Structure 1
Amino acid sequence: DGVDDDGRAFWTGRTLFSELLPDDLDLEFTSSAGDTVLIEDGQLLSGTIDEDAVGAFGGEVVDTVAKAYSKTRARILINEVAALAMRSIMHFGFSIGIDDESIPPEAQERIDEAIDNANDRVGELIAAYEAGELEPLPGRDLSETLEMRIQQQQGRVRDTAGEVAEEYLGEDNPAVVMAQSGARGSMLNLTQMAGCIGGQYVRGERIHRGYENRTLSHFEEGDLTAEAHGFVEHSYRSGLDPKEFFFHAMGGREGLVDTAVRTSKSGYLQRRLINALSELEAQYDGTVRDTTDNVVQFEFGEDGTSPVEVSSSVDESAVDVEEIADRVVDAEFDDDEEKTRFLGGEREPLNLSEHADDWWMEAAGGD
């Protein structure tokens, strides 16, 4: 692709990746990084290859290769992309450590200032609530309105902390690279590691359960401030104080219970579905029947389309069969004349009767 300052030839990452693609692949989509990925004739011309391109769920490149070429070709692509990624990491190196979540003092000051401003606004909301001056939201009473307004303030603080952290960490930060590419983690995780963990919630509300009229014995009765109901000002890197740690454990417990309950419920639902559908078969005539030959559906799925072949994209209804057929025919015939004859154009006479037809037409002066 070019020559470096020392006169040595080099190849770009896009050229290397293009070597793994089918030669006639054409594709255009938007990556999770936000740029446009453009592939023409198997050459990656622009864009970032990330989770949206080769991810496990909905990777556009892998999905297109599997549908337009074959599952085998997609398997080869996945293996080669994995090998290329491993060699790249071995060559250039990629690691993450505790220092990658460090932000400078001026960034921490901006986050602390945002937290102080939010606490002041929460104090004003509480004062207005206690004075009966807080205007209720539609369909909410005063206490519900106060809770929602405080949650909004807490959410804004965390968003601000995330923006500040992202600004100072930079795009070359390994944690940011992983989050933006979709490899692992998210910017929210990074925000909580470097900036501010934010409010802890149980069943969608601030933490209220605990002692009578207060969450912990560390607070006065009737205290409605953010700190007294689960707001964690610190980041994971700076460390939580005991009260914050306790509230954080309460929020984390809900996640663990939810995971356990959700897994058992979905597992049992799957088992019931498998048992209910185990006798159904798609027959050669296109119908779906059970073991006693009763017709359950006259056409599979009411549309006769395999879910495997249908795109998840709203814009693409199904596989472009004509495009695939054209590519197969082009690969099969080197000569355009042969292809034209195969597709039903002009062809040579195959037997005497066809020769005779031509002779009679010429004798009669016809075309």
Structure 2
Amino acid sequence: VNMAISGARGSMDNLNMMAGSIGQAKVRGKRLERGYNERVLPHFKRGGRGAQDRGFISGSFKRGLEPTEFFMLSVSGRESLVDTAVRTSKSGYMQRRLINAMDDLKVFNDDMLSVRNTANRIIQFSYGEDGIDPSRGVHGAAFNIDVIIDGALGTEGGSKITRESIEREEREEDLGAWDDVEEFHDGGGV
């Protein structure tokens, strides 16, 4: 239980399957379909309306499974194995295509860290669209966002943007807009 609660391994659903009941067997997110002459398995009555007739597994791993329950559970297990294999091959193929497509791109160490191709044409003005040099991070540590904000705002350190400061700025902008409206109505006009 401690491992499931801490998130280290397993989940509460896994504990329920071990101690209580495995529950509904699913294929592609749906209950098992009737296939074999209006039944999920040939061992069931045709057109059966019970929970087990559509793939509900009342057994648990602690008590053991009936042969029909084991078969229904293995259907969803086989589906997930095939799905994992297909997704792995698709993502690997996509990665290979992206690597080949970006083969001639290079990040230049100029003021903006621009991305250029072999003909020296600019593809992207600022690497990653934010201008942050990933090689300057310390062993994959996150960047100090305050430094980035200070650089963007032109303030040299010490600026702490908080919810209160943003709300105060928005109120000041709103008041300034109302001053303009009042001036317009008082005869200032356009």
Using structure 1 for the length normalisation, give the TM-score: 0.36
Is 2:134 the counterpart of 1:297? no
User: % of aligned pairs identical?
Assistant: 53
Distance 1:270 1:234, change over 3 A: same
Gaps of 5+ in 2: 151-155, 158-190
Task: Please report how far the alpha carbon of residue 307 of structure 1 lies from its aligned counterpart in structure 2 after TM superposition.
Answer: 6.2
Q: Are the counterparts in 1 of residues 114 and 122 from structure 2 also a CA contact under 8 Å?
A: yes
Partner residue, 1:248: 73
Partner residue, 1:215: 40
Partner residue, 2:7: 182
Q: Counterpart amino acid of 2:147?
A: V
Measured in 2, the distance between the counterparts of 1:210 and 1:240 equals: 22
Is 2:145 the counterpart of 1:319? yes
Q: Helix, strand or coil: the match of 2:118?
A: coil
Q: Are the counterparts in 1 of residues 34 and 54 from structure 2 also a CA contact under 8 Å?
A: no
Gaps of 5+ in 1: 1-175, 310-315, 327-367
- 2:59 is aligned, of 234, 249, 255, to 234
RMSD: 2.5
Is 2:21 the counterpart of 1:196? yes
Q: Helix, strand or coil: the match of 1:267?
A: helix
Q: Counterpart amino acid of 1:207?
A: L
Moved over 2 A (4+): 305-309, 316-323
Q: Counterpart amino acid of 2:102?
A: L
Measured in 2, the distance between the counterparts of 1:199 and 1:219 equals: 17
Task: Please report how far the alpha carbon of residue 305 of structure 1 lies from its aligned counterpart in structure 2 after TM superposition.
Answer: 2.5
Q: After the TM superposition, which residues 1-367 of structure 1 pair with which residues of structure 2 at under 5 Å, given as runs? A: 176-285=1-110, 286-306=113-133, 319-321=145-147
Task: Please report how far the alpha carbon of residue 243 of structure 1 lies from its aligned counterpart in structure 2 after TM superposition.
Answer: 0.9
Distance 1:240 1:306, change over 3 A: farther
Distance 1:191 1:223, change over 3 A: same
Q: Helix, strand or coil: the match of 1:258?
A: helix
